[in-house]
């Protein structure tokens, strides 16, 4: 019989968030696959767990997954952990889980801390729906393209972001999406935890002036504007001119994203329509 693959959530900051079940499972399995063995060893030492460790990090995920599946098929019980939170959510784990399922290996989640659920619980989303995007692309051009594709979404957009990229991300989000309500959660469950609802416009000067520390969850709420019901490009542009607070530049970006076309012709027509109003 194959062993069990346990997906074990670990604290994202405060060690008191570690569940009794997670401690028991990590102590009982034959092997723990960790995103960073040095980080996980500190956690295991704190709880007096002496289970052997093996590394399972992004760059070697495919090859290590194959090795672990062989061990699981041989009857070993394996626990997968990431540096913090729940494995497989913007952390290594998907390849191993998929391979284990294809091999008929039981996969057992051990629920626990998650930065995603922690931030959402403080956001006050009455509908309960949201779109989790994870980490945005590191290159600005790709990031802007992604934001444009999401600009008309009716769901709150949930991103993970690192401290050294958060400034560029917020500036791009403000440029593409316009000013929107945003909740950002930093250093969740740690000493300097900060969870605040503000706006993209208010965040731009802050992230320029302050040195941001710690990983972040950013929840960007949908825009308040209605969508145009017009059919032709001219009618759509007139609607935005008369009903939207977006700049001409931002309107062109949004319309181009909605129509899946280039911005040059849209900008030319928009400029004519805006000039007629003056």
Q: Is the pLDDT of residue 244 over 80?
A: no
Q: What is the pLDDT of residue 266?
A: 87
Dist CA 61 CA 30 (whole Å): 20
**Beta strands 194-199 and 216-220: pairing type?**
unpaired
Residue 216: half-sphere exposure toward Cβ, Cα within 13 Å:
24
Select from 1.10.390.10, 3.40.50.300, 3.40.50.2300, 3.30.950.10 the CATH code of 116-220. 3.30.950.10
pLDDT (average), residues 81-101: 94
CATH topology of domain 5-113: Cobalt-precorrin-4 Transmethylase; domain 1 (3.40.1010)
Higher pLDDT, 240 or 107: 107
pLDDT (average), residues 100-105: 97
Dist CA 193 CA 188 (whole Å): 5
Domain locations in the chain as residue ranges: 5-113, 116-220, 233-277
pLDDT tens per residue, range 206-217: 887 778 888 999
Q: Strands of 53-55's sheet, edge to edge?
A: 53-55, 31-34, 78-81, 5-8, 107-110
Distances (CA, A) of 276 to 115, 124, 238, 239: 49, 43, 10, 14
Q: Is the pLDDT of residue 225 over 60?
A: no
Say yes or no: do domains 5-113 and 116-220 share a fold: no
pLDDT tens per residue, range 151-208: 888 899 999 999 999 999 999 999 898 889 999 999 999 988 999 999 998 999 888 7
Distances (CA, A) of 242 to 13, 255, 273: 48, 15, 11
pLDDT tens per residue, range 16-68: 999 999 999 999 999 999 999 999 999 999 999 999 999 998 888 989 999 99
Q: How many CB atoms lie within 10 A of CB 243?
A: 12
Which token pair is 27?
Answer: 């102590």
DSSP designation for 152:
T
Which token pair is 205?
Answer: 């000067």
pLDDT (average), residues 116-139: 92
pLDDT (average), residues 82-98: 93
């Amino acid at each position: 019989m194959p062993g069990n693959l346990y997906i074990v959530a670990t604290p994202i900051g405060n060690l008191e968030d570690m569940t009794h079940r997670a401690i028991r499972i990590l102590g009982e399995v034959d092997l723990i696959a960790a995103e960073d063995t040095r980080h996980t060893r500190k956690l295991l030492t704190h709880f007096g767990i002496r289970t052997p460790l093996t590394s399972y990090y992004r760059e070697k995920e495919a090859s290590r997954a194959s090795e672990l599946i062989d061990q699981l098929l041989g009857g070993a019980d394996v626990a997968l952990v990431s540096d913090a939170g729940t494995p497989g959510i913007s952390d290594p784990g998907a390849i191993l889980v998929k391979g284990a399922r294809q091999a008929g290996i039981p996969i057992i989640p051990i629920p626990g801390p998650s930065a995603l659920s922690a931030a959402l619980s403080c956001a006050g989303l009455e509908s309960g729906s949201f779109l989790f995007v994870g980490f945005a692309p590191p290159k600005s051009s790709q990031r802007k393209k992604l934001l444009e594709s999401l600009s008309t979404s009716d769901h709150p957009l949930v991103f993970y972001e690192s401290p050294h990229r958060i400034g560029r991300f917020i500036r791009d989000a403000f440029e593409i999406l316009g000013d929107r309500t945003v909740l950002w959660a930093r250093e969740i469950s740690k000493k300097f935890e900060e969870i605040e609802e503000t706006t993209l416009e208010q965040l731009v000067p802050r992230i320029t002036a302050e040195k941001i520390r710690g990983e972040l969850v950013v929840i960007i709420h949908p825009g308040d504007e209605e969508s145009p019901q017009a059919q032709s490009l001219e009618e759509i542009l007139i609607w935005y001119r008369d009903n939207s607070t977006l700049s001409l530049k931002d309107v062109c970006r949004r319309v181009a994203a909605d129509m899946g076309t280039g911005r040059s012709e849209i900008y030319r027509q928009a400029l004519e329509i805006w000039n007629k109003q003056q």
